[in-house]
Amino acid sequence: MLGRGAARALGALRGVRGGAPPARSLGLSRRLLSFEKVLDKDHSLPKPCWGKDMRRLFDQFTKKCEDGSWIQLASYEQISAQRSQDFSAFIHAYFPSASEVINKEKLSQAQLFTRGFEDGMGFEYVMFYNKAEKRIVCVFQGGPHLQGMPGFFHGGATATIIDATVGMNAIVSGGIVMTANLNINFKSPIPLCSTVLINSQLDKIEGRKLFVSCKVQSIDGKILYTEATSLFIMLEPKKKKYDLKEAVLNPLPA
Ligand SMILES: CCCCCC/C=C\CCCCCCCC(=O)SCCNC(=O)CCNC(=O)[C@H](O)C(C)(C)COP(=O)(O)OP(=O)(O)OC[C@H]1O[C@@H](n2cnc3c(N)ncnc32)[C@H](O)[C@@H]1OP(=O)(O)O
């Protein structure tokens, strides 16, 4: 199960209607937070654009979810427009100086960077979480629009999916966090349109700091493409006005 803070953080920022019950009562045996009424499609479910490797690994990890040791993490591209006021409140509480700069009307169009591509062209991925081992495994199939050097992924695209994976590992343990440091060693170029495994591990928590590392490998484990270490910081509200719990329990009307 997730910590309460993390479940609330995810719920509040995902467009939940009707409120999020405490994590303990969620019955998260297979799919994380799947009870939520979320307004758009879950991109972490199989699609026609997934290749056979991606599909096979999805099936393998889904099987591991049956005994509850692993949980599949759902993934949406957009929170509902109705929640945009929550985002304004979030920004106001945590980054008050940014509050004046951000165009609040545009917030209703906000969507997760990794989910902004046409199906199969950008980031296709699904993450699985093992709480006991503090691990998240991301099965990633990158599309042709992620090219850097001809025939290979752009390093920024690799950094993005790494940040998303280690970031999710930090979120499930720490709630509302931001990347403070991301250190990447690119060891071997990743062939464009291939499927790879990103294995991330929460190494330690010290106060507000979460240290997460990961390896990007070929699906047979023979090639180590990339290694990364990261530091995430749990955010502290600068203003006490924003109450995450209140935002979850009293969502805005549709
Ligand atoms: C959150 C719920 C979301 C749910 C839905 C989301 C769905 C999917 C998400 C997918 C995951 C995506 C993950 C992507 C994450 C990002 O990319 S975040 C974007 C990039 N990051 C930033 O823009 C952060 C910019 N930096 C900051 O805003 C701040 O510096 C900070 C918030 C990181 C820290 O500021 P503050 O809170 O004021 O803390 P400090 O007092 O400065 O520091 C606290 C301690 O940490 C140490 N520290 C800070 N930064 C670093 C660093 N870079 N390296 C090493 N150490 C650092 C600092 O020294 C303090 O240590 P001590 O307490 O003194 O020991």
The predicted pLDDT at position 101 comes to 84
The share of the chain scoring above pLDDT 70, in percent, equals 74
**pTM value surpassing 0.90:** no
The predicted pLDDT at position 240 comes to 53
Helix (H) or strand (E) holding 125: strand 123-130
The residue with greater pLDDT, 88 or 227, is 227
Confirm whether 42 is a catalytic residue.
no
Q: How far is the CA of 55 from the centre of ligand 1 (A)?
A: 34
Check whether 254 has a pLDDT greater than 90. no
**What are the Cα distances from residue 7, in Å, to 51, 138, 172, 234?**
31, 20, 8, 14
* Nearest ligand 1 atom, CA 9: 2
Its ipTM equals 0.95
* Nearest ligand 1 atom, CA 95: 28
**Helix, strand, or coil (residue 77):** coil
The model's pLDDT over 41-97, given as tens digits with 9 standing for 90+, comes to 889 999 999 999 999 999 999 999 999 999 999 888 765 545 666 777 778 888 888
Q: How far is the CA of 210 from the centre of ligand 1 (A)?
A: 10
Which residues form ligand 1's pocket by a CB distance below 6 Å?
9-10, 13-14, 112, 163-164, 167-168, 171, 176, 178-181, 208-209, 231, 233, 235-236
Q: How far is the CA of 180 from the centre of ligand 1 (A)?
A: 4
Question: What is the edge-to-edge ordering of all strands in the sheet holding 195-206?
Answer: 31-32, 71-73, 123-130, 135-142, 195-206, 209-218, 224-234, 177-186
What structural domains and CATH numbers belong to the chain? 4-249 (3.10.129.10)
- Reference 239, options 104, 91, 84; nearest CA is 91
The model's pLDDT over 169-215, given as tens digits with 9 standing for 90+, comes to 999 999 989 999 999 999 999 999 999 999 999 999 999 999 999 99
